Amino acid sequence: SQTIHQWPATLVQPVGSPLSLECTVEGTSNPNLYWYRQAAGRGLQLLFYSVGIGQISSEVPQNLSASRPQDRQFILSSKKLLLSDSGFYLCAWSPGGNTEAFFGQGTRLTVV
């Protein structure tokens, strides 16, 4: 069966520090991968998605970037965090073909 792992679960980082959140999927190949941010009252905002290694689509201009160095690995990064980057970040995958997306357990990021 397929599983998705996302870490860390919580993170407190100072303003101006770098960020790296990692997400991996097991039990499938060539998944579509997604990074979402959840803010109160704003639902889930799609940040990045990837349909293959090295293919990244950005939805929202911001202080973040994403990379997909391996087929089942998706990384969310920032060189210098801002206070406004605080939030709950969710990684998700789908096999494509308009099936549902499956989510990781999320990372609560607090920038102080």
Partner 1 sequence: AQTVTQSQPEMSVQEAETVTLSCTYDTSENNYYLFWYKQPPSRQMILVIRQEAYKQQNATENRFSVNFQKAAKSFSLKISDSQLGDTAMYFCAFTGSGTYKYIFGTGTRLKVLA
Q: Determine which residue in the list 49, 75, 78, 109 makes contact with partner 1, applying CB under 8 A.
A: 49
Comparison of 78 and 94: residue with beta carbon closer to partner 1: 94
Is 11 a binding residue for partner 1 by CB under 8 A? The answer is no
Of residues 109, 91, 111, 112, the one with CA closest to residue 31: 91
Of residues 21, 24, 27, the one with CA closest to residue 73: 24
Which parts of 63-102 interact with partner 1 (CB under 8 A)? 88, 90, 92, 94, 96, 98-102
**Least separation, in Å, of the C-beta of 80 and partner 1?**
27
Is 7 a binding residue for partner 1 by CB under 8 A? The answer is no
Q: Determine which residue in the list 7, 22, 44, 71 makes contact with partner 1, applying CB under 8 A.
A: 44
Decide if 78 contacts 69 (C-beta within 8 A): no
Residues that bind partner 1 (CB under 8 A): 32, 34, 36, 41-44, 46, 49, 51, 57, 59, 88, 90, 92, 94, 96, 98-103, 105-106
